[in-house]
Structure 1
Amino acid sequence: MDCRLGCGACCIAPSITSPIPGMPNGKPAGVRCAQLNNDNLCKIFGQPERPDVCAEFTANIDVCGTTNEQALWLITDLESSTC
């Protein structure tokens, strides 16, 4: 499965503990990443400063569902069950 352009759920729902440009302490769950633009595209995609956890994310139906809204719900649910 390919990521849906403009979804952004994986840049909003999960917490990220590694530094991100503009967010030196990472980001809490439910907070938009500072590197997510207005079109929900990563401004540092493919760049070396992109956190490894982001680069290693693989879209799949179990995590992303079939809509952007479903992806946000699924990833939020996964995040809350792993805290």
Structure 2
Amino acid sequence: MPALQDQCPLVCLNYFLPIPKRGHSMQCRIGCGACCIAPSISSALPLHPNGKPAGVRCLHLDAGNRCAIFLHPSRPAVCSGFQPTEDACGSTDAEALAILAEWERLTG
């Protein structure tokens, strides 16, 4: 059986922002990982029992920035609820990281 992260490499579906959805939805950029780095996550995760601080790379990201718990029941709803949009993810991985970091700064 293939590794879980190889079955579901769309890591950018991992964060729900409490900001109204704007812009056009888009396909996640495989290997981006910005949504698993920039925001804080207050929910417990297996490797982050007290949540994850903003700007800290999630320990569940593999070397290719894919979520190792993508289909696991312990993956928080906040992660599975994120839907990438142009407004949130921009046009590059670096732009996504900058946008999400700014949103975290404004809402944190």
Counting aligned pairs with the same residue, the percent is 54
1:44 partner letter: I
* Equivalent-residue separation in structure 2 for 1:2 and 1:19 (angstroms): 27
Partner of 1:25: 50
- 2:107 matches 1:82: yes
Show CA shifts across 1:10-37 (max 9, x none).
0000000000111100100000101011
Q: Give TM-score scaled by structure 2 length.
A: 0.76
Structure 1 segments (4+ residues) deviating >3 Å: none
Measure how far apart 1:2 and its partner are.
1.1
Question: 1:47-82, CA deviations, whole angstroms, 9 ceiling, x for partnerless residues?
Answer: 111010000000000000000000000000000000
2:71 pairs with 1:46: yes
Aligned residues: 83
1:34 pairs with 2:56: no
- In structure 1, the residue matched to 2:98 is 73
Cα RMSD for the two superposed structures: 0.5
Any gaps of 5 or more consecutive residues in structure 2? 1-25
Q: TM-score, normalised by structure 1?
A: 0.98
Structure possessing the higher radius of gyration over alpha carbons: 2
